[in-house]
Amino acid sequence: MQFVKKLAVLAICAFFISGTLLSVVFVSSYSIHEHDKNGPDNSCVYCAFLSEVENLLKHLSTALVGAAIVFGALSTIRFVYISACSYTVFYTLVRLKVRLNN
Ligand SMILES: [Zn+2]
């Protein structure tokens, strides 16, 4: 069951990353185009799609930067905690009893 969950998370991450990369490819491939007047109010359809994709990528990049900052902070806290625990000796009651017996 744990393996299926990990596989599902990896699939979701792969779909997210591939969607983001395909969006970047779409924007870069259609950034230079001939403006047509086929949209509403004689506007360019490609320019409307490009502006929507760019806005979506801006919002996703903001969320990704926030997630990366949180992940880095949590990793740092975990590293510091593990490093501190290796040098800290916890005196439990059993350990103190054994110490008294010796
Ligand atoms: Zn255009």
- Output the CA 21–ligand 1 centroid distance in Å: 22
Total domains, the chain: 1
Rounded to 10 degrees, the C-alpha dihedral 75/76/79/83 comes to: -170
> From ligand 1's centre to the CA of 72, what distance in Å?
40
pLDDT recorded at residue 69: 96
Question: What's the 53 CA to ligand 1 centre distance in angstroms?
Answer: 14
Using one digit for the tens of pLDDT, what is the confidence trace for 39-97? 788 889 888 888 988 898 899 889 889 999 999 999 999 999 888 877 777 778 888 88
Tell me how far the alpha carbon of residue 15 lies from the centroid of ligand 1, in angstroms: 28
Ligand 1 center to 51 CA (angstroms):
10
Give the number of other CB atoms < 10 A from CB of residue 27: 16
Q: What is the pLDDT of residues 9-23, one digit of tens each?
A: 999 989 988 988 888
Quote the domain boundaries for residue 88: 2-101
| DSSP-derived secondary structure for 89-101 | PP--HHHHHHHHH
